[in-house]
Chains A and B, each alone.
Chain A
Amino acid sequence: MARVIVVTSGKGGVGKTTTSASISTGLALRGFKTAVIDFDVGLRNLDLIMGCERRVVYDLINVVNGEANLHQALIKDKHCDNLFILPASQTRDKDALTEDGVEKVLKDLAHMGFDYVVCDSPAGIERGAVMALTFADDAIVVSNPEVSSVRDSDRILGILQSKSRRAIEGREPVKEHLLVTRYSPKRVEDGEMLSYKDVQELLRIPLIGVIPESDDVLQASNQGTPAIHLKDSDVAAAYLDVVARFLEEDRPLRFVTYEKPGILKRLFGGK
């Protein structure tokens, strides 16, 4: 059975799609057959981040409605052989998603031999977001180190507890992982930002990683390449760590302490 991972947050703009793209790529790079589904019906983004927007013919809603089959709709990633993207519909509205339809898509993916299915949740707590998390086995809750994002993540954790199939059927609860993104150790040091420890203390779920704030993410999005592919980038290294930790390997936290730039760097600039 494919393991279903939902990437969710409540709040928008915190890095869900970036994370979905990088984690699904990371799992595929490790040899797992992986699908990543964009649940953001009406505001699709994942195809842009994955750089496959020109190859979209069919989408999730077409499959849910039986207008296309999965083989037709899945787009093979340009970087990894065993990664496939199922884009969202740009033209339909989110009510087109039905629970039965989503369940069938996930079952069919399992029959096709997928090891992991990553569900990229839309922001908010409405239908699309609930559909994305309904069938989850794992949840990666993405939060920025600021209070409103943490509050929304907390809300999503509550919804996960009450609306996921695992919760409704009284099975083992969805495994929750906290991912803190857009983290700036300097601003934490200056007291302008919550530390990852504060965030974890507020949400009380296990931390799977901290992704540093970086211009590389914007650059990667513009190129249509998942950030995890970037060479010599802290963000890529941090996402590789997250994937390793997800696969239960031990990796120490990196990029969480601020190192003062040396005198030369201060004199001659640099990032």
Chain B
Amino acid sequence: MAEASPQGKLIEFNGASLAVMTASLRDTDPVRLADALHMMLGGMPDFFAGEPAVLDFAQLGNPPERVDWTAILSLLRRYQLQPMGVRNLAEHLHDGARRAGLALLGARDLSAESPQTVPQPQVQQTPAPAPTPEPAPVEAAAPQPAAAETPAESELAPTLIVDRPLRSGQQVYAKGGDLVLLAGMSPGSEIIADGSIHCYGPLRGRALAGARGDTTARIFSTNFGPELVSIAGVYRTFERGIPQNVAGRGAQVRLTGSDNLHTLEINPLQYD
């Protein structure tokens, strides 16, 4: 169908912004990295499911003389992570990274771009019957959290929306962002989000928000009855049952307290 395009171009270049995961490496020794990955993801060789990633070396203490890129890349690919490029890498290692097929990205290349600067020729291809007002792209951008204590990573991760009920044994992970469940979840299922969790319908399995340590993440549910809730690693189980004032009702879970003494608070949601 390439011929069908108006200019007959076989290849076209457009600016695009992608949500990419960064993998911060604090070591470059393949053996130690392999150990660490095995500890983290032991039983799940396909954990990343082909996810693209940028390797960030900002937190690497003393850069070594040379890096065994082949070993590192094959290690990451074994977990189905697809490294695309590197950033914050010491000058003398650039050549090696380039030869390994990795793009050298500047620290700023990954920040969220303003969509307005990107020309969008494709949008106009279909003749619209009436000129519709331009959607405001600026509003679509999520407001940055005012005082984020987490490292300022401003990648814009899309919200993950699940339309069907989540069943026992199923697991969903909203990487980098919020998770919205529109049909609830059953006991024995598990939801994990780096951001907040919004559950319309019964929340009955294990719900873990702020999985990468965001203490401002919250869990909302219209029908509260989970097995476990956790925010940024602070968790609570319900062996003696769900508190009466929230059981089966709208509730929110959040962290209160200061840095070293967080407590998990569960409150009823007020509707009008």
Measuring CB to CB, which residues of chain A are less than 8 angstroms from any residue of chain B? 151-152, 154-155, 157-159, 161-162, 173, 202-204
Contact = CB atoms under 8 A, between A and B. Distances in A.
Given A151-B187, A151-B188, A154-B186, A204 B165 contact: yes
B108 interface: no
Which of A159, A202, A204 has most B Cβ within 10 Å? A204
B176 to A, nearest CB: 23
A204 B217 CA distance: 28
A154 B164 contact: no
A202 B166 CA distance: 12
Contacts of A151: 168, 186-188
How big is chain B's contact interface, by range?
10 to 19
Interface string B141-185: 000000000000000000000001111111000000000000110
18 contacts: A151-B168, A151-B186, A151-B188, A154-B168, A154-B187, A155-B168, A155-B169, A157-B165, A157-B167, A158-B168, A159-B167, A159-B169, A161-B170, A162-B170, A202-B186, A203-B186, A204-B165, A204-B184
B92 to A, nearest CB: 47
A159 B186 CA distance: 13
B82 interface: no
Contacts of B186: 151, 154, 202-203
Contact of A158 (B170, B183, B184): B170
A203 B166 CA distance: 10
Given A151-B187, A158-B166, A158-B168, 17 more contacts: A151-B168, A151-B186, A154-B167, A154-B187, A155-B168, A155-B169, A157-B165, A158-B167, A158-B189, A159-B167, A159-B169, A161-B164, A161-B170, A173-B164, A202-B186, A204-B165, A204-B184
Which of B164, B167, B183, B187 has most A Cβ within 10 Å? B167
A152 B187 CA distance: 10
A178 to B, nearest CB: 13
Interface in B7-33: none
Contacts of B183: 204
A155 B164 CA distance: 14
A152 B184 CA distance: 17
A204 B165 CA distance: 8
Contacts of A158: 166-170, 189
Nearest to A147: B187
B68 to A, nearest CB: 38
Contacts of B167: 154-155, 157-159, 161
A157 B169 CA distance: 10
